Structure 1
Amino acid sequence: MWKLPDMGVYKLNCDAAVDVAGGFIGIGLVIRDAAGFEARCVEIGFVSRNYNKVAHVLARNALLHAEDRYWMEEYPTFVRSFVQADFPC
């Protein structure tokens, strides 16, 4: 049974579904507060790494670090060239 997070804490629940025959992956995320209200909901469909290089580089980099890392408003310098490549000239 799902349990509410403590007061002042948010809880992230996630699930994934795979369509092997179609070659698709879907991921759903829900963030809830202590009252059980949904703070954020996200649905993600599969995107080839050729079109999602920033996320792939971040995921590969995460394998090198034991601690959680996050960036707000700025992105890490090691993805700068990939971010710039995502924008059309």
Structure 2
Amino acid sequence: MPTQASDSGPNQQPARKYRSFLLRCWRERDTARPARTTWRFSVREVGDDPNEYTLRSLGQLVDFVLEALLIATPGEKTDEE
């Protein structure tokens, strides 16, 4: 999962106020059961050092976004807390 510096010091970049992602969604057919399809996802971070992650379920996608947002604002209270 993506990580980010927790403090802004003289040699560190300030924490971002927003995160940008490119989300791709597609269906894959189950080879064992051709009538069944499954959604798959990939998420690419937008920025200077883009990383791409492939996720196999909607649950993994939600977990990824939640973790990415929590890491982006360490120690900062959010509306959800």
Q: TM-score range by the shorter chain?
A: 0.3 to 0.5
TM-score normalised by structure 1 residue count: 0.34
The alignment's TM-score, normalised by the length of structure 2, stands at 0.37
- Which structure dedicates a bigger proportion of its chain to helix? 1
Tell me: higher relative CO, structure 1 or 2? Use CA pairs within 8 A at least 6 residues apart.
Answer: 2
